[in-house]
Amino acid sequence: MMDVRLAVRHVLLAVAVLIAAAGVGDAQSSADGAAVPLALLAAVEGPIGPAAARHVDEAVGEARARAARVLILRLNTPGGLVSSTREIASTILDSPVPVIGYVAPGGAHAASAGTFILYATHFAAMAPATNLGSATPVSIGGDDEDEADGAARKSPTAAKAENDAVAFIRGLADLHGRNADWAEKAVREAAALPATEALALNVVDAVAADVEALLAAADGRTVRLGGETRRLATGGVAVERIEPDLITRALGILSNPNVAFILLMIGFYGLILEFANPGSIGPGIVGAICLILGLYALNQLPLDYAGLALVLLGMGLMVAEAITPTFGVLGIGGLAAFVIGAPILIDTDLPAYRLSWWVIGAMAATSGIVLILLVGYVWRVYRRPGRRRGAAMRGADGRVMDWADGAGHVWAEGERWSARGASDLKPGQTVRVTGMDGLTLLVGAPAAEDRPNG
């Protein structure tokens, strides 16, 4: 009887658990069905470069993964690199989630590259007291104009870059039904507009004081997305901000050309110290890490390869000076190559991506000081008398470091000596000093009875 009661209790308990689980599942389904729609917001501020491109790509990926209604890019930028601008535009155009471009807060601007990005977005808006435009490509390597017959005309390189930019922005304008003629004017004539005039000229789709007003203005608008028309549904959405991840922040620091250049120099100084003091390990490890980070950072920037070659040549010659002292000949040549190559290392005139003359001067002065100290050290060592000279060196044992055609270098009495002897000597072989000719040792193989057994 007790077993039957126990079995009934177990059955009733199981039924209760199933009913409770079903209730929880229904409640969860109801909660999911009533979930508040989401809009993500990512701020794109400062110069447009590799870090900004990565941040936009990550934001679009998160918006896709979380099925957001829209992604808002809040823009405040003076411009940036063409390569990063095109990368961001491509990411926006390929996005499965509608992207809203919003120049904000008040006082912000979407100049140069920012204008291209705003034109690429599916819905463009500006806050009051903001502006956009001045999208003329910045000259590379000097003046954009040649003087001929007293009249200024654009150089072929500048004209090519300008025409390419015009075609790019007109294509974006036509895709989203915006004012293509003004877009071309912004590129060719560096035209700029405040928010109210931009709205009147169909450059943007709305003027909104804040994000709430922006979402209200976008709600119900139709946009072109992936070759089809889609209606925006932004009413009642919850806005969540996306912060740049750690890698993006690190890339933002590394893509600063001054930081990249300093890392490169620290890397080479570390190698110089390691070569000058073999086995110290620490300077070599730090130098290798900084050198790799510096080269990675420079790879993200528009390099002038002639400038890079001169900088690397200069550093290589200074390293060679540390390894094989030449009393400054290699070092001075390396310093000259470095000073010539550094100013032309970054192939752009954008202020945010130019090497600071202060940084170049500081690195050149540091290299000069290191070179002076190195040459002075070598000169003092050269003039210092050896530990043992003449007859005192006769009979000392040494080890062959390198040897060819009866001459080479021998390590004896804790010093590296030039030496002459038999032509059949080999590196690593033990030899005995038989005499000296100036500062050159005369060496030979030790007598058979003096050699170690085995």
pLDDT at 15: 46
pLDDT at 22: 47
Domain-by-domain residue ranges, the chain?
A: 36-139+159-245, 256-379, 390-450
Question: Averaged over 350-375, what is the pLDDT?
Answer: 76
Residue for token digits 């009051």? 128
Tell me the C-alpha distance between 425 and 442, whole Å: 12
* Confidence at 390, pLDDT banded by 50, 70, 90: low
**152 vs 401, residue with greater confidence:** 401
Q: HSE, CB side, 13 Å, CA atoms: give it for residue 23.
A: 6
Tell me: pLDDT of 32 over 50.
no
Tell me: pLDDT of 102 over 80.
yes
DSSP H or E stretch at residue 73: strand 70-76
pLDDT at 41: 95
Residue for token digits 């500081």? 362
Which token pair is 337? 């190559």
Question: Do 84 and 52 contact (CB within 8 A), yes or no?
Answer: yes
pLDDT at 27: 41
36-139+159-245 has CATH 3.90.226.10 classification: yes
Question: Do 335 and 364 contact (CB within 8 A), yes or no?
Answer: yes
Q: In this predicted model, what pLDDT tens digit does every residue of 256-302 receive, in sequence order?
A: 888 888 888 888 778 777 766 666 677 778 888 888 888 888 777 77
Tell me the C-alpha distance between 135 and 188, whole Å: 8
DSSP count for the chain of H helices, then E strands: 14, 18
SS3 343: helix
Report the sign of the C-alpha dihedral through residues 296, 297, 298, 302, in that order: positive
Tell me the C-alpha distance between 275 and 320, whole Å: 9
pLDDT over 90, % of the chain: 33
Question: Do 182 and 193 contact (CB within 8 A), yes or no?
Answer: yes
* Confidence at 237, pLDDT banded by 50, 70, 90: very high
41 alpha-carbon distance from chain centroid: 24
User: Does residue 31 come out as left (phi exceeding 0), alpha (psi in the -120 to 50 range) or beta?
Assistant: alpha
287 alpha-carbon distance from chain centroid: 18
* Confidence at 210, pLDDT banded by 50, 70, 90: very high
**207 vs 336, residue with greater confidence:** 207
- DSSP secondary structure code for residue 353 in this structure: G
* Confidence at 17, pLDDT banded by 50, 70, 90: very low
Closest residue by Cα to residue 120 from 73, 52, 55, 58: 73
Cβ within 8 Å of residue 396, ≥6 positions away: 388, 412, 413, 432, 433
* Confidence at 73, pLDDT banded by 50, 70, 90: very high
Tell me the C-alpha distance between 346 and 368, whole Å: 23
Tell me the C-alpha distance between 101 and 94, whole Å: 15
Query: What class, spelled out in words, does domain 390-450 have in CATH?
Result: mainly beta
* Confidence at 241, pLDDT banded by 50, 70, 90: very high
* Confidence at 31, pLDDT banded by 50, 70, 90: very low
* Confidence at 86, pLDDT banded by 50, 70, 90: very high
pLDDT at 83: 86
Lowest-pLDDT range of 107-111, 257-261, 405-409: 257-261
Amino acid identity, position 147: E
Question: Averaged over 84-90, what is the pLDDT?
Answer: 93
Question: Do 430 and 408 contact (CB within 8 A), yes or no?
Answer: no
What's the chain's average pLDDT?
80
Tell me the C-alpha distance between 401 and 90, whole Å: 59
Query: In this structure, are strands 131-133 and 192-194 parallel, antiparallel, or unpaired?
Result: antiparallel
DSSP for 104-121, please give it: -STT-EEETHHHHHHHHS
pLDDT at 33: 41
Q: In this predicted model, what pLDDT tens digit does every residue of 119-171 receive, in sequence order?
A: 999 999 999 999 998 887 764 434 444 444 444 456 677 788 888 999 999 99
Which token pair is 339? 């000073």
Which token pair is 268? 């080479």
pLDDT at 303: 78
Crossing angle, helix 156-176 and helix 180-188, to 10 degrees? Answer: 160
Q: In this predicted model, what pLDDT tens digit does every residue of 295-331 receive, in sequence order?
A: 888 777 777 888 888 888 887 787 677 666 666 677 7
pLDDT at 24: 43
pLDDT at 29: 39
Lowest-pLDDT range of 72-86, 345-359, 395-409: 345-359
E strand intervals along 137-187: 145-148, 151-154
Question: Averaged over 34-53, what is the pLDDT?
Answer: 87
Tell me the C-alpha distance between 426 and 404, whole Å: 8
Torsion of CA 306, 311, 315, 318, to 10 degrees: 90
